[in-house]
């Protein structure tokens, strides 16, 4: 209860909403309490947090929201920034904004039922009109082993036992997040991501292999030394007809600053079918 009261105090301090009469013929969205344990780098619980979120799946596009994109910086830009700071010996500070979504003003008229356990006893039929963005809303982000993969390529594996799509996609999504700082798993992860529609035990085994590889290489990461130059060096490569289902090739590329500051990398199946290694290399080079 104290954590929930603390969360609602933040709402009052930032003037997130106001209690109004229930409007007619309007979509009223429900709220939900979430609890999360915040941990430090040693996985020790340092804080128990309560968060009041909106059930945004009940929103209707064009009525409750118009745009839902999240304006974020490209990871390549972040790595370039860090590499340049290391080159110039700048001091970098990392900061976080507490309850960041609650600072974004709302353009649409959005109404909520009063949260469970905190209904105003004098106005139980009233609802909250939102003035600032809230977690869970569609528009909230806008307002504010030796190798990771076996040598043999994956294929559709149509004759094998299927596995749960949700769990498979969750694991692949976690790996895609890690590719932001672990360039050594991007090729294997992108291969596994191609089979999210109909994953089988074979594909799940390949995903688990990547996690085993990460467990054994947990101390690997990116390094941006100071005492080097700042010239750009790029490399490109490709296989030929590596995809066993479409016979399309896969392009790969990496870019360095100063010879040892890795700032960008990619692995992507080519859009066209090439007839030779040379042709696949040209397609990769032009990407």
Reduced to 3 states (helix: H, G, I; strand: E, B; else coil), residue 277 is helix
> In the chain, what are the domain boundaries?
2-72+97-143, 165-286
Q: How confident is the model at residue 216 (pLDDT cuts 50, 70, 90)?
A: confident
User: Per residue in 174-204, pLDDT tens?
Assistant: 999 998 888 889 889 988 998 998 899 889 9
Q: What is the dihedral of CA 52, 36, 138, 111, to 10 degrees?
A: -10
| 170, containing H or E segment | helix 165-178
Query: Which of 3-12, 32-41, 87-96, 180-189 ranks highest by mean pLDDT?
Result: 180-189
Is the pLDDT confidence value at 171 over 90?
A: yes
C-alpha to C-alpha distance for 144 and 133, rounded to whole angstroms: 8
pTM for this structure? Answer: 0.50
User: Mean pLDDT throughout 270-285?
Assistant: 90
Work out the number of other CB atoms within 10 angstroms of the CB of residue 267. 19
Mean pLDDT, residues 125-136 taken together = 82
Q: Please say whether the beta carbons of 163 and 201 come within 8 A.
A: yes
Of the segments 8-12, 48-52, 128-132, 200-204, which one has the largest average pLDDT value? 200-204
The pLDDT, as a whole number, for residue 189 is: 92
CA–CA distances in Å: residue 164 to residues 154, 195, 204:
18, 12, 10
**Structure letter (DSSP) for residue 240:** S
Task: Please give the pLDDT value at position 71.
Answer: 61
Q: Closest by alpha carbon to 273, among 236, 241, 239?
A: 241
* 74-127 residue pLDDT tens: 888 888 888 888 888 888 888 776 666 666 677 778 888 888 888 888 888 899
Mean pLDDT of 40-44: 80
Residue 244 or 151, more confident: 244
CATH number for the domain running over 2-72+97-143 = 3.10.10
Which whole-number Å values give the CA distances from 87 to 78, 214, 229, in the listed order? 14, 29, 8
Helix (H) or strand (E) holding 54: strand 45-54
């Amino acid at each position: 209860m104290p954590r929930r009261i603390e969360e609602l105090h933040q709402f009052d301090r930032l003037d997130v909403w106001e209690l109004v009469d229930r409007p007619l013929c309007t979509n009223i969205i429900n709220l939900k309490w979430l609890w999360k344990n915040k941990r430090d780098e040693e996985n020790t619980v340092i804080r128990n947090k309560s968060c009041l979120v909106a059930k945004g799946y009940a929103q209707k596009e064009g009525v409750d929201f118009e745009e839902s994109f999240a304006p974020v910086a490209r990871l390549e830009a972040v790595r370039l920034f860090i590499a340049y700071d290391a080159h110039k010996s700048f001091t970098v500070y990392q900061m976080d904004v507490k309850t960041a979504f609650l600072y974004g003003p709302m353009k649409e008229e959005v109404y909520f039922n009063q949260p469970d356990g905190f209904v105003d006893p004098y106005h139980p039929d009233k609802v909250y009109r939102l003035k600032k963005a809230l977690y869970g809303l569609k528009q909230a982000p806008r307002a504010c082993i030796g190798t990771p993969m076996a040598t043999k390529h994956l294929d559709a594996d149509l004759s094998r036992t299927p596995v749960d799509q949700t769990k498979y996609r969750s694991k692949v999504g976690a790996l895609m997040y890690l590719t932001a700082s672990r360039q050594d798993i991007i090729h294997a992860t992108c291969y596994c991501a191609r089979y999210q529609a109909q994953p089988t035990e074979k594909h799940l085994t390949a995903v688990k292999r990547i996690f085993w590889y990460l467990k054994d290489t947990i101390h690997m990461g990116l390094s941006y030394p100071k005492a080097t130059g700042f010239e750009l060096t790029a490399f490109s490569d490709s296989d030929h007809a590596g995809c066993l289902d479409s016979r399309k090739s896969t392009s790969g590329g990496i870019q360095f600053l100063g010879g040892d500051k890795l700032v960008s990398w990619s692995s992507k199946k080519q859009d066209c079918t090439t007839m030779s290694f040379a042709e696949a290399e040209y397609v990769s080079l032009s990407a």
